[in-house]
A and B are shown apart, each in its own frame.
Chain A
Amino acid sequence: MSILIKIFISFFKIGAFSFGGGYAMLPLIQREIVSNHNWITYKEFIDIIGISQMTPGPIAINSATFVGFKVSGVFGSIAGTLGVISFSFILVSIANHYIVKFKESYIMKAALAGMRPALIGLIISVFLSLGRESYKDIKSVVIGIIILGLLLTNKLHPILIIIISGILGITFYALIPM
């Protein structure tokens, strides 16, 4: 099977099953792209999440474009991006005709109520596996604690958090000997 079709199918799955948006997509991206296909490493996966915080647009599009490019150049990025938006397009096209029914659909509401705690569990598992990758030395743990402190005490914009963490990276790893 052509690599472009494989990229399309993987991101189609990600688009079709990521309920809750944003970080809720990470468990699926991790499984499909990092563990199943080994298209990117954990390190690159973390890079992409960091970059997504600094760039506009949904994380799903960002990662589809990035991973697609890495695997197969510009055509790969088109395949990935098309894959991740296709299911939305099909579903919304159908729903557009029945918008009132969907709004009152208690089946949908019940399904979402069931999914909500499961999604939290899935995102925690992403946190644990990325944490294992990120916190390999004391310096990274200290940076993590500083960032967590900032996140808990201030409502800083994600871009600012990324900039601060970049500065902390240079400070701790280049300037502080250990």
Chain B
Amino acid sequence: MKRLLNMFWTFFKIGAFTFGGGYAMIPLIEAEVVSKKHWLSKEDFLDIIVISQTFPGALAVNSSIFIGYRIGGLLGAIIGLLGVVLPSFFIILLIAVFFMKFRDYYYVDLIFKGISAAVPMLILIAVVSLSKSLKKSYVNIIIILVSMASILFLNIHPVIVILSSALYGVIFLGKKVK
């Protein structure tokens, strides 16, 4: 039980102090879970991260459930997950309560006008860095254009686009990754 509480606290800290999402969390989780607490070997940890990345959902969520299972079975998984989720949950809840009261104040609105001009650029930069890891081929460029067009012009649900591209990968790219 003490170990589970300890684990909850560890994941709570990770959830409360990592800004910038999943990838920023990996070194922190490793430092706590592998180097400091020795709950997992480094190889185990890397396996968990690799699999968590291939699964849908947030990396932090997936890996906290995996690590929780390793340390304390089903109960451990639930506790690990709660630890990583609760800080954002309470912080956002707090912001949501106040935000709705103050959002239309003159200066708050101006601040958010500035932020709203920055957000698309943050997304654009994410596109640039994701594209760097992609092979420059005609096929990839065509897939990018087709998936864009199916959202913007054909109004197809993103789930359909994701599933068809996964199917394409399984049928045509199986040999390449083997």
Contact = CB atoms under 8 A, between A and B. Distances in A.
Contacts of A37: none
Contact of B123 (A26, A58, A106, A165): A26
Interface in A23-48: 23, 25-28, 31, 43, 46-47
B143 A57 contact: no
Name, among B103, B117, B170, the residue most crowded by chain A CB atoms within 10 Å (CB to CB).
B117
Classify the secondary structure of B's interface with A. Answer: helix
A55 B56 contact: no
B176 A162 contact: no
B66 interface: yes
Given A16-B57, A56-B15, A114-B167, 4 more contacts: A88-B57, A111-B166, A119-B147, A169-B115
Size band of the interface chain B makes with A = 35 or more
Contact of A70 (B100, B158, B161): B100
Contacts of B91: 55-57
Contacts of A13: 159
Interface in B100-143: 100, 103, 107, 110-127, 130-131, 133-134, 139-141, 143
A89 B140 CA distance: 32
A126 interface: yes
A88 B65 contact: yes
Interface string A1-22: 0000000000001011111111
Interface in A48-106: 49-51, 53-62, 65-66, 69-70, 74, 77, 81, 84-85, 87-89, 91-93, 95-96, 99, 102-103, 106
A157 B19 contact: yes
Given A58-B58, A87-B56, A106 B174 contact: yes
A87 B57 contact: yes
Contacts, number: 351
Contact of A60 (B58, B74, B96, B133): B58
Contacts of B117: 134-135, 139-141, 143-144, 147, 165, 168-169
Nearest to B176: A113
Nearest to A132: B120
Interface stretch (B2-10, B29-37, B81-89): B81-89
Contacts of B124: 127, 148
Contact of B60 (A27, A57, A118, A131): A57
A118 B152 CA distance: 13
Contacts of A84: 57-58
B120 A134 contact: yes
A178 interface: no
